[in-house]
Amino acid sequence: MTNITVDGRLLEVDDSDNLLQVLLGLGEDLPYFCWHPELGSVGACRQCAVVQYMNEDDKRGRVVMSCMTAITEGAIFSVQGEKASNFRTSVIENLMLNHPHDCPVCEEGGECHLQDMTIMAGHRDRQYRHLKTTFRNQYLGPFIGHEMNRCITCYRCVRYYQDYAGGDDLSAFASRDRIYFGRSADGVLENEFAGNLVEVCPTGVFTDKILSAHYTRKWDLQSAPAVCTGCSLGCNITVSERYGQLRRIHNRYNGEVNGYFLCDRGRFGAEYVNSDDRIPYCGIRNTDGIYEANSAKNTLVHVGALLRDAKTIIGIGSPRASLEANFVLRTLVGEDNFYSGLSGPEAEIGSLLLSVLKSNIKTPSLAQVEDFDAILILGEDTTNHAPRLALSLRQAVRNEAKNLARDARIPLWADAAVRKLAQDARSPMFILTSSDDRLDDVGIPSRLNPDDIALAGFSIAEAINSHAANDDADNDSRINIASIVEALTNASKPLIVTGSSSSSPEIVKAAINVANALAKHNDNTGLIICTDEANTLAVVSLGEKSLPEAGAAADVAIVLENDLFQRFADAAMEDWLEHVTNLIVIDSLDNSLSSRSDVVLPAATFAEAQGTYINNEGRAQRSFGAFKPKGDIAPSWDWLLRLCHGQDLLQDVQHIDELLRTIAEILPELALIVNAAPDAGFRDHGQKIARMTHRQSGRTAMLADVSVHEPKQPEDDNSALTYSMEGANQAAPGSLRAFTWSPGWNSNQSINKFQDEISGHLQDGDPGIKLFTGSSAVAHFVSDKSGPGSGNIRIRVVPRWHIFGSDELSNKSQAIRSLAPSPYALLNPNTAENLNVQTGDALKLDSGDAPSLPVSIEDNVPDGCVICPVLETTRAYLHLSDGVLSKDDDWTAPDGQEDVIVSDRRP
């Protein structure tokens, strides 16, 4: 700690931060633009100027940029003094010369950092009378709007996009007062994290097109703290609504999980909440086989009768439904009749993950990932399967740069200087995957088929255990086992990343072995296992069986939020459905399974319901709905609770907090879930927490076209949040913070005010709670294969996830759908020859009902792999490791098929 004087006050502060960070951390208001807590300092905007005095006798002082000023013992600063504040006023005056002042029509208005800082810096009267610089805007894809005239040239966008997120198609062009931030030509921004530009940009240059399409001011949004259901990482989001429609997803800061950033699937993938495919009311299929809408009451009576009369009732849970809903279903049907509804490999990998979380192997949070200095990725396509993790890994490889900077005594916040010094020096990150990886540019890639990835993993583990690289493995020219072993064993914090994206439990077992081998010598070893969906872990902890055995009959099957047709091949599904007399589906969107049901109960989405999600780190997080769903639509757990009458255990459970306490009681290992967020009884100074800002305009008139009498706002009995602007609106605990706001700070950057230190934890702790702690040893696995290259090369289908297109729900969002790939089968010339196909042909998966995949041949695909995208139509077939591939003789390339040139087509 170091002593400094600021405006006459003696302060004791951390000298590893710059002055701006220190002052913001102390809760001071000091305007800034180019500095960002995650991007560090470059000194471009000059907005955060203060005056520094050489000593007590120095009365003049000199202007310094607080973001570029290190903390030194005895330093004397003035923030409020006239010289400093006049300078800051001049900066904002100059920044605004070319700004169009179009706040009334700008999407950023009302949550604009530029507005906030302009007010804070005190500039009011404008003297500039000359022409403004104007620019042409670009089309940047379905997610992000572009309005360059608003730009104040703070360089945050390119620093975030290029330096932080690794994108290369957004740049600064031209110079002087003609600097242009955009692409070399119009086109979709390629980076999967481009959406963060919306929040990184301090004004309205990059805007959220989903929000713009039906725009609402921030102050008119009704919001809630939610958890993203797009993958297994559980990023915290703010979900916002107006007029019964979801309007946007914004980042919700969690110092342990997502920090300041989301992936584009999470940010732009929730439009499905407003989809026309939503199931609006209960339906019962009549004797003629026609669906009839029915009231909730009648439907429940009908279902109650079915349940009463049934001898066998089974329940199939869901990795995308809440823990609560899965639990109530399990209770309703009995533990023996509960199935997770996961595909085989996913269920197995989920169980492996659970065993790791209960063991002595540490699973780091996303924030902790950034501290690891050697990384081995085994078969996990992070960018497409668990996207936000890829962004953290990209920061982790910078540890080498940070070490160099420490040696050169360059402060780590001096971003440009650290990057210049380090150039391309990086901590090692070995990427063993089957397909090209978006992290290849900062890693050491090896392309192997999944079997060889697993074998490599086993060899690495063995070599670590025996302190020597296996000679056989070393003979494999594609991969240098010894160098991986050396990097991992020399690292102070080695990290193994794996998951289910290759649908290979074998790879996960190998990864566990590697982590286990490392952990024997290094307590700082970390292991991350990513699963396919948001609540895989919850459903795995409730049951091990994935689906009833073939031929097992059921009088009633209740399927919870799970389109089984996307997990199991059509033939298997038809076989199963044949033995189900009454199929009851609880879901939010119409899908292949719901259209086969006898009864359908409309479920609320995450945007309308409360629920608990357990991410792949074992962190239980509560997600709250922003608005009450329409009509009879209700949370799945609510439907199921209402069916539980006469069921002993849940007889008296009416309230979700009672439900959570029951779960904690029945499942002691999940007991901590009750602490994931404050319960419905929580009050801040006697008040509930407001979902609406206190400036919400027109709430009282919103329904005036229907009736001039203002209706009573709906009550929320299930949480401490209100559907109103009445209530506490500022200092809620992080897990209940519906929006971020502080006086003078209307943008998301107000989060500064609620962190224990800048970029640190939230003052009241980061939302969520880690459920599992364990000290037991994890199992040691033995490879089920003899060695690479031994025997015949098996041709196997390798799933490839796509951030846009592979996730069931976000796929129903139009913008995401527009970026999803068409089906393909990617293979190398050898494999193509083996399968007797060439470009212009197609391959068929499995038999009969699977879709055809046009062949695309690339040299760098590993031998024996046929890489196929995980899509709605293909997913069910991709985890079948014994799946048969054959040429589709009936297929002809449709006209205009991309990637097929005419000469490739055979006559």
Question: Using CB under 8 A as the criterion, which residues of the chain lie in contact with another protein when the complex forms?
Answer: 42-47, 49, 62-64, 68, 87, 90-91, 94-95, 97-98, 127-128, 130-131, 152-153, 155, 172, 174-179, 404, 408, 410, 414, 416-417, 420-423, 425
Tokens, residue 827 = 């293979």
CB of 746 to another protein, least distance (A): 22
CB of 752 to another protein, least distance (A): 22
State the Cα–Cα distance between residues 762 and 758, nearest whole angstrom: 9
SS3 623: strand
State the Cα–Cα distance between residues 190 and 510, nearest whole angstrom: 33
Residue 386 is which amino acid? A
Cβ closest to another protein, residue 83 vs residue 358? 83
CB of 118 to another protein, least distance (A): 13
> Comparing C-alpha atoms, which of 337, 214, 345 is closest to residue 273?
214
DSSP 504-517: -HHHHHHHHHHHHH
Cβ closest to another protein, residue 139 vs residue 173? 173
Question: Judging by DSSP bridges, how do beta strands 554-560 and 313-316 pair with one another?
Answer: parallel
Cβ closest to another protein, residue 153 vs residue 503? 153
CB of 201 to another protein, least distance (A): 16
> Comparing C-alpha atoms, which of 352, 396, 400 is closest to residue 377?
396
Residue 79 is which amino acid? V
> Comparing C-alpha atoms, which of 561, 540, 549, 453 is closest to residue 503?
453
Cβ closest to another protein, residue 155 vs residue 430? 155
Cβ closest to another protein, residue 171 vs residue 465? 171
Cβ closest to another protein, residue 87 vs residue 291? 87
Residue 14 DSSP one-character state: -
State the Cα–Cα distance between residues 121 and 93, nearest whole angstrom: 9
Tokens, residue 56 = 């007590």
CB of 428 to another protein, least distance (A): 16
Cβ closest to another protein, residue 190 vs residue 400? 400
Q: What is the CA radius of gyration of the chain?
A: 28
Residue 724 near residue 738 (C-beta atoms within 8 A): no
State the Cα–Cα distance between residues 257 and 234, nearest whole angstrom: 8
CB of 100 to another protein, least distance (A): 14
CB of 152 to another protein, least distance (A): 8
Cβ closest to another protein, residue 88 vs residue 493? 88
CB of 431 to another protein, least distance (A): 23
User: Greatest CA span in the chain, whole angstroms?
Assistant: 95
Cβ closest to another protein, residue 404 vs residue 577? 404
CB of 203 to another protein, least distance (A): 14
Q: How far is CA 555 from CA 68, 185, 340, 560, 598, in A?
A: 70, 60, 19, 16, 12
CA 227 to chain centre: 9
Cβ closest to another protein, residue 41 vs residue 696? 41
> Comparing C-alpha atoms, which of 249, 258, 198, 494 is closest to residue 389?
258
Q: How far is CA 771 from CA 48, 150, 225, 776, in A?
A: 42, 46, 20, 15
Residue 371 near residue 542 (C-beta atoms within 8 A): no
Residue 143 near residue 208 (C-beta atoms within 8 A): yes
188 Rama class: left (phi>0) / alpha (psi -120 to 50) / beta:
beta
CB of 675 to another protein, least distance (A): 45
CB of 420 to another protein, least distance (A): 5
Ordered alpha helix ranges (H), 565-611: 570-578
CB of 340 to another protein, least distance (A): 52
Cβ closest to another protein, residue 125 vs residue 578? 125
Residue 796 DSSP one-character state: E
State the Cα–Cα distance between residues 344 and 823, nearest whole angstrom: 23
CB of 546 to another protein, least distance (A): 52
CB of 72 to another protein, least distance (A): 13
State the Cα–Cα distance between residues 348 and 500, nearest whole angstrom: 9
CB of 7 to another protein, least distance (A): 20
Ordered alpha helix ranges (H), 524-609: 536-542, 570-578
The secondary structure element, H or E, covering residue 242 is: strand 236-242
Cβ closest to another protein, residue 98 vs residue 623? 98
Cβ closest to another protein, residue 34 vs residue 832? 34
Cβ closest to another protein, residue 103 vs residue 179? 179
Angle made by CA atoms 340, 503, 337, in degrees to the nearest 5 = 15
CB of 127 to another protein, least distance (A): 6
Length reported for the chain: 907
> Comparing C-alpha atoms, which of 698, 689, 678 is closest to residue 740?
689
State the Cα–Cα distance between residues 379 and 502, nearest whole angstrom: 6
CB of 16 to another protein, least distance (A): 16
- Strand runs labelled E in 703-819: 721-722, 769-770, 796-800
SS3 324: helix
CB of 44 to another protein, least distance (A): 5
Cβ closest to another protein, residue 182 vs residue 727? 182
Residue 655 near residue 717 (C-beta atoms within 8 A): yes
Residue 593 near residue 570 (C-beta atoms within 8 A): no
CA-CA-CA-CA dihedral for 433, 435, 438, 442, to nearest 10: 50
The secondary structure element, H or E, covering residue 314 is: strand 313-316
